[in-house]
Amino acid sequence: MQYNAFGQNATPYSIGNTYKIHSKILKEDRSYILELPSSYKTSKAKYPILVLLDGEISYHSHSGILKQMTEGRQIPEMIIVAITNVDRVRDYTPTNYLTNLNGSSAVDNHKTSGGSAEFLKFMEEELLPKIEKTYRTSAFKTLVGISHGGLLVGSAFLSKETSFNAFVSMDPSFWWDNQYLIKQLENTDLNQIKDKRIYVSTADKFENFDRIPHVFTTNINSQENFNTTLKNKGFSPNQVAFEYFKEENHWTVALISLYQGMQFIYKGLKMKNAQESTLEEIITYYKTYYNGEFLPPENEINAIGYYHLKNDIKKALPFFKLNVSNYPTSSNAFDSLGEVYMGSGDKEKALKNYKESLRLNPKNANAKKIIEQLSAKKNN
Amino acid sequence: MQYNAFGQNATPYSIGNTYKIHSKILKEDRSYILELPSSYKTSKAKYPILVLLDGEISYHSHSGILKQMTEGRQIPEMIIVAITNVDRVRDYTPTNYLTNLNGSSAVDNHKTSGGSAEFLKFMEEELLPKIEKTYRTSAFKTLVGISHGGLLVGSAFLSKETSFNAFVSMDPSFWWDNQYLIKQLENTDLNQIKDKRIYVSTADKFENFDRIPHVFTTNINSQENFNTTLKNKGFSPNQVAFEYFKEENHWTVALISLYQGMQFIYKGLKMKNAQESTLEEIITYYKTYYNGEFLPPENEINAIGYYHLKNDIKKALPFFKLNVSNYPTSSNAFDSLGEVYMGSGDKEKALKNYKESLRLNPKNANAKKIIEQLSAKKNN
């Protein structure tokens, strides 16, 4: 893709690495592109995993959007794993079905279809265990795909064995095999899926569907059918979002779907009215959010601590204590706690926390300065 | 940023190259990240340039979004040049102004401010000439920036010497130095700017402005003031878009602004009702669109040709002829024209065009097959 016109002066701009893994289940070598979060190297935290399908197409734009959303604090830092394709029709479809969406024969292009169960097994039993063994990961996992990839996201959502918690399915091929997936959904026990969260987007423009409106309608209908069936089963409306994009087509809908979908998946990670809540209310809230997969976010708790610090140091202290307890490798959490003890005149505890902060981050100039001041005073 | 945990198996995933250029104007070395369009190597076409500011932050996500928008045919292929920062306050601001947006002293952090004229000169006289000398570029140029970078986009828009045609200014710092830019706009001759197109976005959430509503309002007001002043001058409402994002803040607004902004910049590149228009109407339309900077898009003209081909081969022919005339290095344009001549029974002209198509792309198996058939018949 990249044409290097004057090589002597050019340094490649890299946004991750491609890795290989041999799959015994799929009996082939597979590749994935992986990028660790910015803070990975300097922290000891565990990170959620996000798996992207159609990696060779999606990775560049999707990882860029996710990175910028992370920096804007719309979503937490994640380890991104983008699986590249060998045979997407085979891997992403649940049945061997030899007909195109427009009704024409697909004997050739759907020949290998029907391998999604094997592909899901590959992800659960080979790929994810390797990622979890190699990196510091939390248990929370998101799966993102478009079109046939969106169909696979739907299959994963209904799978008993899935370890994914959140699903972004963009303009998915739910029409596949007379809406096979919706029949599967009808036969799925609500308890098995009720704690998951799923976002489904639909594109309204049909330019890419042979410009044939009724073909296009078949696709949209299947998506609406999925949504209705899910709600009729008693699935919580708070756990599913179904978004309709009037101005997007099957290809352009990905960018806006990812942006909206990820905000939906992480809706509530920043607790509403947290500043007015007690510490107990906040702790209880995060115990129920995704079944306690996420600790109260460090930066939010820190901000609330400083908010209370202006009026009531006693009220503020437990928030800073919570952060050092939840994030025992965060230099900043200890720095903040040190600052509170300084303010309350407890120089011994202040010194102890600043020392721990400096130990965790030897570049913390503020901690260094205060430790020197406190030590100097002690010696006087 | 990237932590490589098992290097033996990892291949860097690169999305461009970083290059260095020495600037005599700025008296320093500068860097930029550059990516050529996917088709660059195999085509002989000239491409528009898009310059991104704050390259080290913006490049990953913005180039990804642009790439996917290109593949979805929302925008044409472009050469992307992302300039990385040395001193963004110096380079992006028009005056030396030592006060922050919230009124506090900025003696330290604005110390170097006021260098935008020099930075614009660097772009026009050093960077762009180098890009134009090195690559096949068309004359059309777009500039994209956020915050102080958005302010620089505004300064470029008003500059007499600018070669940029289109401007995307995201939540710009138009408040700078008592709205210095708006005073500049008031004194700018309409004729100098009337052919340009500018998109300005505004973020409605003020979390990032010290949570002080009136500070935030100052910023928004300056942007609205810019918009009003521009329209009062008689600037065409079709050439400016001003978009207000209720749910975005100063940092998160970039992604959606780029997506919407680029669609606005290229609005009309796909002519409305082109299928129902005569060839002359289409040619006239593109002569006025951005003063003729763009030829009628090859794929659109090709599609219209095939549309007419179903009913009237005589009506279709000129469209295919236009494409080989406008895109003399496009293998597909000659392949299509060959197909039309085949359909009309003019085997000699068909053969000539298929041969040219194969010469331009030796991998064109279809052309190869038909040439063999036609040559075989000739010899019988």
Does the beta-carbon distance from A13 to B17 stay under 8 Å? yes
Q: Which of B6, B31, B61, B137 to mutate to probe the A interface, most A CBs <10 Å?
A: B61
Residue-level pLDDT at A251: 84
Give the amino acid at A160: K
Quick one: pLDDT at residue B42? 78
Say which CATH topology domain B274-379 has. 1.25.40
* Interface membership of B307 toward A (CB under 8 Å): no
Among B residues 137-156, those touching chain A with beta carbons less than 8 Å apart: none
* pLDDT of the residue at B217: 78
Average pLDDT over residues B103-110: 92
In chain B, residues 38-57 whose CB comes closer than 8 Å to chain A: 38, 40-41, 57
**In chain B, beta strands by DSSP E:** 11-23, 28-35, 47-52, 79-83, 137-146, 166-170, 197-203, 240-245
The proportion of chain B whose per-residue pLDDT surpasses 90, expressed as a percent, equals: 77
Contact (CB<8Å) B13/A2: no
* Domain made up of B13-265: CATH architecture: 3-Layer(aba) Sandwich (3.40)
Residue listed under structure tokens 């130990």: A359
Kind and range of the H or E run holding A167: strand A166-170
For residue A69, the chain B residue with the least C-alpha distance is B252
Rounded Cα distance, A225 and A175, in Å: 10
Q: Give B299's pLDDT tier (boundaries 50, 70, 90).
A: confident
Q: B13 contacts in A (CB within 8 Å)?
A: 14-18, 33, 59
pLDDT class for B377, splitting at 50, 70, 90?
Answer: low
Q: Do B12 and A9 touch (CB under 8 A)?
A: no
Question: In A, which residues are within 8 Å of B68 by CB distance?
Answer: 60-61, 252, 254-255
pLDDT along chain A (380 residues), means of 10: 52 95 98 94 88 97 96 93 98 96 90 98 98 96 98 98 97 95 97 96 69 69 94 95 90 94 96 91 94 89 91 93 92 94 93 95 92 76
pLDDT tops 50 at residue B6: no
Could you say which of B10, B35, B249 has the minimum Cβ distance to residue A2? B35
Q: What are residue B13's phi and psi, to 5 degrees?
A: -100, 105
338-377 in A: which are within 8 Å (CB) of B?
Answer: none
Three-class DSSP labels, B12-64: EEEEEEEEEEEECCCCEEEEEEEECCCCCCCCCCCEEEEEECCHHHHHHHHHH
Q: Which chain B residues are within 8 Å of A63, Cβ to Cβ?
A: 60, 64
Sorted by where each begins, the domain ranges of chain A are 12-265, 274-379
- By the CB < 8 Å criterion, does A8 face chain B? no
How far is the alpha carbon of A299 from chain B, nearest alpha carbon, in Å?
14
Give the closest of A16, A57, A74 to B2, CB-based: A16
> Is A234 within 8 Å of chain B by CB?
no
Per-residue pLDDT band at B97 (split at 50, 70, 90):
very high
Taking only Cα atoms into account, the Rg of chain B, rounded to an integer number of angstroms, comes to 25
Q: Which stretch of A200-209, B4-13, B51-60, B342-351 has the lowest confidence by average pLDDT?
A: B4-13
Determine whether the interchain pair B14/A2 forms a contact, defined as Cβ–Cβ distance below 8 Å: yes
Closest chain B residue to A6 measured between Cα atoms?
B134
- B166 forms beta bridges with B142, B197
**Which residue bears the tokens 């979503």?**
A75
Residues 69-88, chain A, touching B (beta carbon < 8 A): 69, 71-72, 74
Give this complex's ipTM: 0.89
Question: Would the CATH topology of B13-265 be identical to that of B274-379?
Answer: no
Cβ–Cβ under 8 Å, residues B226 and B200: yes
- Is B65 an 8 Å CB contact of chain A? yes
Chosen for mutation from A11, A65, A68, A310 (greatest number of chain B CBs closer than 10 Å) is A68
Per-residue pLDDT at A186 = 96
Is A289 an interface residue toward B (CB < 8 Å)? Answer: no
Nearest-by-CA chain B residue for A67:
B61
Residue B66 structure tokens: 């642009």
pLDDT-derived band of residue B210, with 50, 70 and 90 as boundaries?
Answer: very low
Q: Report the residue of B8, B11, B15 to disrupt the A interface, i.e. the one with the largest count of A CBs within 10 Å.
A: B15
B273 Cα to chain A: minimum distance (Å): 14
User: CA A173, A179, A182 angle in degrees (round to 5)?
Assistant: 100
Digit-coded pLDDT (tens) for B67-85: 999 988 899 999 999 999 9
Q: What is residue A9's predicted lDDT score, i.e. its pLDDT?
A: 77
CA within 13 Å, CB half, A88: 19
B80 pairs with which residues across the strands? B35, B50
Q: CA-to-CA distance for A231 and A237, rounded, in angstroms? A: 7
* CATH number attached to the domain at A12-265: 3.40.50.1820
Q: How far apart are CA A69 and CA B251, in angstroms?
A: 9
- State the smallest CA–CA distance between residue B20 and chain A in angstroms: 7
Instruction: Answer yes or no: do B60 and A41 touch at CB < 8 A.
Output: no
> CA–CA separation, B287 vs B294, rounded Å?
8
Q: Which of A9, A135, A254 sits opposite B5 (nearest CB)?
A: A135
- Residue range B225-250, pLDDT digits in tens: 999 999 999 999 999 999 999 888 88
pLDDT of A214 reads 61
User: What value does the CA radius of gyration of chain A take, rounded to a whole number of Å?
Assistant: 25
